[in-house]
Structures are given as structure tokens and as C-alpha cells.
Amino acid sequence: MSDITSLLPCPQPVRFLDPDGSTTEHDPGTAATLEARGYSIPAEEDLLAVWRGMVIGRRFDTQATALTKQGRLAVYPSSRGQDACQVAPVLALGEQDWLFPTYRDSMALVTRGIDPVEALTLLRGDWHCGYDPVATRTAPQCTPLSTQIVHAAGAADGMRRRGTGGVALGFIGDGATSEGDFHEGLNFAAVFDAPLVVLVQNNKYAISVPLAKQSKAPALAYKGVGYGVRSEQVDGNDPAAMLSVMRSAYAHARAGHGPVLVEAHTYRMEAHTNADDATRYRTSEEVDDWTGQDPVVRLQAYLVARGALDEARIEEVREQAEAFAADVRTRMHAEPKVDPMALFEHVYAEPTPQLREQAEMVRAEIAGSAHAAHPVPETEEATR
């Protein structure tokens, strides 16, 4: 049994930087709590890496949205506004750690170093998962909500059993915390002391449904407490707080103290996907308000004020981001090459006889002479 006070999140989301980039004033009680939990503003060089990751990630995201308008992607769920949640937690992961992303987390995939075109394969529609999950230690982006959290718990436990020292990071949205698998995943990880960290990106809406209709919890972070899981809440638009809290969570899990649940308070600046009409359920005033809390602007202002960042460097990274986007654009404008016969390759290790027959049928259909080969043989052939 754990002591409940060690599990409870901070009463207010952890924050180090205010929206204008100045450092947050903490009352003595809060300052003591933050210190006791080992949270502090990360070193400048680490924050510079987060800033650069966000500039490139943001540009990637706006490029993907533009590609959708040009019909190059079937659909795109943007994470603009959630940049700090997408970048800081992933940069703080180690090589051996595993990431369990959702459909929303393309920016996180790019931050992980996954080729952007491979990251967009699912949404372009030429295959489901475009990258190698084993080589990248990144599970396929998960669409059935919250189901990835149980996988992440199992993977974390597997790493514990094998003694790899790795942790699993599971991403999830606020709405998906209502699904049963989220709760089962936390409970499993807690019972086995599995090194799992779950990051809830609370962007306030599940498509159209606001958080108030999703949960009566004082904060989603409290949902960990009932499972004996250390829990925390953080300002998800403060990259410094995100980095600090996630590092601490990984350290806790890696040390064998069990899973951690982190809730990041953030906002989805775009509609749910390009197919969604957000004006049906939220006001432009609300969106404007969050524009003023932009994580990239916030960190940049902090770093500039400290002299850690100057115009030249900003320009340099901006150019890198443009080059990155240009590369994505060029490669995404090429027609994807997909061989329909590839559909038959990975249903089983060995295709069933019936699947082989269907493959022959499709081959004949493509060749335009379908009558010759068909799954149901003529009577004489049926005895073969």
C-alpha cells in the first residue's frame, strides 16, 4: 500500500514559465512542493533542444494540415498547440524506451526521429503503419481509444522482466480516460510495478465533448491515485515544466517505483481533424485565449530574455524547419506507389489456401481476365 500523499498531484498544474516567457512566481508552499518533487527549470541547452524540436514539429504539423487541403492526406488530426506535450516528453526518452502514440501524435513521431513520410503513411492512406515499430521502439499509432495503454503496461512490464532499464510512455487524450482500458492499464502497471508513464494530453475536448461532460474528477491526474499510481498535473503549454515533470516521472518508473500518470493541461488549436467543424462546439474567444498561451512563443521569449537565443539562431532553425517542410511537401506530392498484391502479404505468416485463391482472383482482376482464376473452382477442378 502506498502513502496517499506521495501519490497526489500538485493542487495546481506545475508551471515554471508564464505565457509571456517570464518565470512563474511561486508562493513558499508551492516552491517547497516543487523542490521536494525534484522539479526545476531545466538547463538552457535542454530547453534549446525542446524549442528547436517544437519549431520543426510545428512547421511539420502546419505542412501536414496544408497537405490535407491539397488532398494528399486522407485525414489529419493536428496537434498544433500541444507542441510542448509532443516534443518535451519524447526528447526526454532514452533510446531503449518505448513510445505508444495515438493518431494525434504525429509531431511526437517526427520528434522521435521517424521519417516524416513514414509517420504520415497512415494518414495518407497507403498503409496502416508506415514506420518500423521495432527499430524505432514506437508502437503503431493507435486509433481505438485507450487500448494502447494496456499494451504500454505490458511492454513496460516486459522491459522490467528483462531488466533493460527501459520505460514505456503511453500517450492518451482526455476523452479516452473514460474508456476501461485506461484504468486497466494503470492498475496492471501498478500491480506489477511496471515502468509505465502515461501522459494525458488534456486538450479540453474529445471531438466535440468538453471535459466537463467527460469527468467530474477535480483533475484527470487524480485518476491515478485510486490505483496506487503516482500522479501529477502540469501546464502542458509550458515546455520547461513538461520537460522537468516527465524526466522525474521516467526516473521514478525506471527506478522500479512503479508507474506515473501525468496530466498535461493544454489545448487543441485546430479542429479535431480537417473533417471536423469546431465552430459547432467551441467559441472563437476560447481559441483566441489559448493563442496567447502558445508554448513555442513562451519558451522562445524565455530563452531570448536570458540571452540563450538570438535572432540569428532563430532564423537558422526557422530555415531548418522550412527545409524539413519542403522535403515533406516534395515527397508527399509524389504519387504513392502501392502494389495491390501487397495486401495479401501480411495477413498471416503463411497465407491460408483460401487467401492464396483470393490473391489469384485479384491478380486476374488486375490483369483484366478474371474468369480464368476464381476462388471457387469449377466442379472438375474441385477435387485437386
Partner 1 sequence: MSRPTTYAQALNTALRDSLTQDESVLVFGEDVGALGGVFRITDGLTRDFGEERCFDTPLAEAGITGFAIGLCMQGFRPVIEMQFDAFGYPAFEQVVSHVAKMRNRTRGQLTLPMVLRYPYAGGIGGVEHHCDSSEGYYVHTPGLHVVSPSTPADAYSLLREAIASDDPVVFLEPKSLYWSKAELELPTRTEPFGRAAVRRVGSDVTLITYGPQVPNALRAAEIAAAEEDWDVEVVDLRTLVPFDDETVAASVRKTGRAVVLAEAQGFAGMGAEVAARVSERCFHSLAAPVLRVSGLDMPYPPPILEHTYLPGVDRILDTIARLQWDDEPDLTHEAAGTQAVHA
Out of 26, 281, 363, 374, the active site residue is 281
Q: What's the closest the beta carbon of residue 383 comes to partner 1, in angstroms?
A: 14
236: contact with ligand TPP by CB under 6 A: no
Which range in 5-13, 198-206, 218-226, 337-345 contacts ligand TPP by CB under 6 A? 198-206
Of 47-55, 94-102, 205-213, 283-291, the segment contacting partner 1 by CB under 8 A is 205-213
User: Which residue sits closest to ligand TPP, CB atoms considered?
Assistant: 173
The reply on whether position 145 binds ligand TPP by CB under 6 A is: yes
Q: Which is nearer to ligand TPP, 202 or 293 (CB)?
A: 202
Q: Which of 37, 59, 272, 298 is catalytic?
A: 272
272 classed as catalytic: yes
Does position 370 bind partner 1 by CB under 8 A?
yes
Residues 65-84 that bind partner 1 (CB under 8 A): 74-75
Interface pick for partner 1 out of 12, 23, 62, 178 (rule CB under 8 A): 178
Look up 281 and say whether it is catalytic. Answer: yes
CB distance 232 to 225 below 8 Å: no
**Measuring CA to CA, how many Å separate 231 from each of 37, 172, 293?**
11, 15, 24
Residue 343 partner contact from partner 1, ligand TPP, none using kind-dependent CB cut-offs of 5 to 8 Å? partner 1
What part of residues 202-221 is at the interface with ligand TPP (CB under 6 A)? 203, 205-207
Q: What is the 3-class SS of the chain, one letter each residue?
A: CCCHHHHCCCCCCECCECCCCCECCCCHHHHHHHHHCCCCCCCHHHHHHHHHHHHHHHHHHHHHHHHHHCCCCCCCCCCCCCHHHHHHHHHCCCCCCEEECECCCHHHHHHCCCCHHHHCHHHHCCCCCCCCHHHHCECCCECCCCHHHHHHHHHHHHHHHHCCCCCEEEEEECHHHHCHHHHHHHHHHHHCCCCEEEEEEECCEECCEEHHHCCCCCCHHHHHHHHCCEEEEEECCCHHHHHHHHHHHHHHHHCCCCCEEEEEECCCCCCCCCCCCHHHCCCHHHHHHHHCCCHHHHHHHHHHHCCCCCHHHHHHHHHHHHHHHHHHHHHHHCCCCCCHHHHHCCCCCCCCHHHHHHHHHHHHHHHCCHHHCCCCCCHHHHHC
Residues 94-153 that bind partner 1 (CB under 8 A): 122-128, 143-145
Closer to ligand TPP at the Cβ: 117 or 176?
A: 176
Cβ nearer to partner 1, comparing 5 with 379: 379
- Report strand pairing: 205-206 vs 209-210: antiparallel
Given 131, 268, 298, 302, which residue is catalytic? 268
> Could you tell me if 109 and 101 are in contact, meaning their C-beta atoms sit under 8 angstroms apart?
yes
- Which listed option, ligand TPP, partner 1, none, makes contact with residue 203 (CB within 5 to 8 Å by class)? ligand TPP
If the CB atoms of residues 52 and 272 are measured against ligand TPP, the closer one turns out to be 272
What's the one-letter identity of residue 56? I
Q: Is 304 in the site for partner 1 (CB under 8 A)?
A: no
User: In the complex, what is the shortest distance from the CB of residue 294 to ligand TPP, in angstroms, rounded to a whole number?
Assistant: 18
Which of 6, 143, 283, 330 lies at the binding interface for ligand TPP (CB under 6 A)? 143
184 contacts which partner out of partner 1, ligand TPP, none, CB within 5 to 8 A by kind?
none
Q: How far apart are CA 112 and CA 93, in angstroms?
A: 9
Give the residues lining the site for ligand TPP (CB under 6 A). 104, 143-145, 173-176, 203, 205-207, 268, 272
Give the residues lining the site for partner 1 (CB under 8 A). 74-75, 122-128, 143-145, 175-176, 178-181, 206-209, 213-215, 276, 280-281, 336, 338, 340, 343-344, 347, 352, 354-355, 358, 361-362, 365-366, 370-371, 374, 376, 378-379
